[in-house]
């Protein structure tokens, strides 16, 4: 059996009892290590689970899935995913591969950012299509995701923005030369996402378009949802450029405009602090 097991969002103890029982009896246990991260490292998980974990990076999962599926038809293999197993399409692909090989599978669900984002008080049924915001480069600055933000806003729906994670990435030079040298991990912050969003807004205005979002659009920044040091801050998109939410992982919500009174009251619990460290330099980037 191939088991896909959600780990939740906080630390080692967020795994379900059912998931932990399966982990402890499997012949091999893989930890998917590129679509998300926990607030604790691999060693903390191994200590709590009482098992050695095999790190599975993007290349391993997407190009060498046969390594993970090997012998899963005659023994139990676990594939651990931060959040819920269906939080990334890659994991659906793994299930399809297993099915074609005649390997049975079982999914053990857990909390994901898609549901836990309700911690800020915005009502889940009022969320539209989720978007991803990626790190821009000097030559690649995609804006296509903004069309979905616009559509959500037109329908009065909130937009959850999942922010980019760069783990075990190679520079273009190392990739071309075939050198297995990797860049340090990078995790997009709410500040960086807000800065890119404001640049999209400015670009649209320069083209004579009317952007669906402005500097004054109400947004919510979230960090380390599900962890003990979770942070939430509600304010304008401009304010999101300078709010300090600490370490990864971050998410950003662009509200859909009209809020239910309960949503408004809940967001009032999470005001942006008036003074943020480094706010002046961040504000200069956003203006």
- 96-154 pLDDT, tens digit each: 999 999 999 999 999 999 999 999 999 999 999 999 999 998 888 989 999 999 999 99
Q: Is residue 126 part of a domain?
A: yes
Residue 90: pLDDT band (50, 70, 90) is confident
| 249 appears as a binding residue in the annotation | no
**Residues 104 and 133 occupy one common structural domain:** no
| 19 appears as a binding residue in the annotation | no
Token representation of residue 211: 């952007």
Q: Is residue 274 part of a domain?
A: no
Predicted local distance difference test score (pLDDT) of residue 277 = 41
| 91 appears as a binding residue in the annotation | no
**Residues 20 and 106 occupy one common structural domain:** yes
Of 111, 131, 156, which closes a domain? Answer: 111
- Edge to edge, the sheet with strand 231-236 lists 131-133, 159-163, 250-254, 218-223, 231-236
Q: Is residue 236 part of a domain?
A: yes
**Residues 59 and 119 occupy one common structural domain:** no
Q: Is residue 285 part of a domain?
A: no
**Residues 133 and 236 occupy one common structural domain:** yes
Q: Is residue 283 part of a domain?
A: no
**Residues 120 and 8 occupy one common structural domain:** no
pTM comes to 0.88
Residue 39: pLDDT band (50, 70, 90) is confident
How far is 104 from 76, CA to CA, in rounded Å?
Answer: 10
**Residues 100 and 163 occupy one common structural domain:** no
Of 111, 136, 154, which closes a domain? Answer: 111
**Residues 107 and 249 occupy one common structural domain:** no
Instruction: Supply the mean pLDDT for the chain.
Output: 89
| 144 appears as a binding residue in the annotation | no
**Residues 224 and 146 occupy one common structural domain:** yes
| 112 appears as a binding residue in the annotation | yes
In which domain, by residue range, is 242 found?
114-269
| 156 appears as a binding residue in the annotation | no
Of 83, 111, 139, which closes a domain? Answer: 111
What is the percent of the chain where pLDDT is above 70? 90
Residues 68-96: what's their mean pLDDT?
Answer: 90
How far is 223 from 249, CA to CA, in rounded Å?
Answer: 6
Q: What is the dihedral of CA 122, 125, 127, 129, to 10 degrees?
A: 160
**Residues 25 and 156 occupy one common structural domain:** no
Residues 208-229: what's their mean pLDDT?
Answer: 95
Q: Is residue 137 part of a domain?
A: yes
**Residues 107 and 126 occupy one common structural domain:** no
Q: Is residue 279 part of a domain?
A: no
């Amino acid at each position: 059996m191939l088991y896909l097991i959600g780990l939740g969002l906080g630390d080692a103890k967020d795994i379900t009892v059912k998931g932990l029982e399966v982990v402890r009896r499997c012949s091999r246990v893989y930890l998917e290590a590129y679509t998300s991260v926990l607030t604790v490292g691999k060693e903390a998980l191994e200590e709590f689970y009482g098992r050695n974990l095999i790190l599975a990076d993007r290349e391993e999962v997407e190009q060498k899935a046969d390594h993970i599926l090997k012998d899963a038809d005659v023994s139990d293999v676990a594939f651990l995913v931060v959040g819920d197993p269906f939080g990334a399409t890659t994991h659906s692909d793994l299930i399809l591969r297993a099915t074609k090989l005649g390997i049975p599978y079982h999914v053990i669900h857990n909390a994901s950012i898609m549901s836990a984002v309700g911690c800020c008080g915005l009502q889940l049924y009022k969320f539209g299509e989720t978007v991803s915001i990626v790190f821009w480069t000097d030559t690649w600055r995609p804006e296509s995701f903004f069309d979905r933000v616009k559509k959500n806003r037109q329908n009065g729906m909130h937009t959850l923005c999942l922010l980019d994670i760069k783990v075990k990435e190679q520079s273009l030079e190392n990739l071309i030369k075939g050198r297995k040298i990797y860049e340090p991990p990078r995790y997009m912050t709410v500040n960086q996402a807000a800065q890119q969003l404001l640049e999209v807004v400015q670009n649209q205005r320069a083209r004579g378009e009317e952007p669906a979002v402005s500097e004054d659009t109400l947004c919510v920044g979230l960090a380390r949802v599900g962890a003990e040091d979770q942070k939430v801050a509600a304010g304008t998109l401009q304010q999101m450029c300078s709010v300090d939410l600490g370490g990864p992982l971050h998410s950003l919500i662009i509200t859909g405009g009209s809020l239910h009174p309960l949503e408004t009251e809940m967001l009032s619990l999470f005001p942006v602090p008036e003074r943020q460290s480094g706010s002046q330099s961040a504000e200069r980037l956003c203006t």
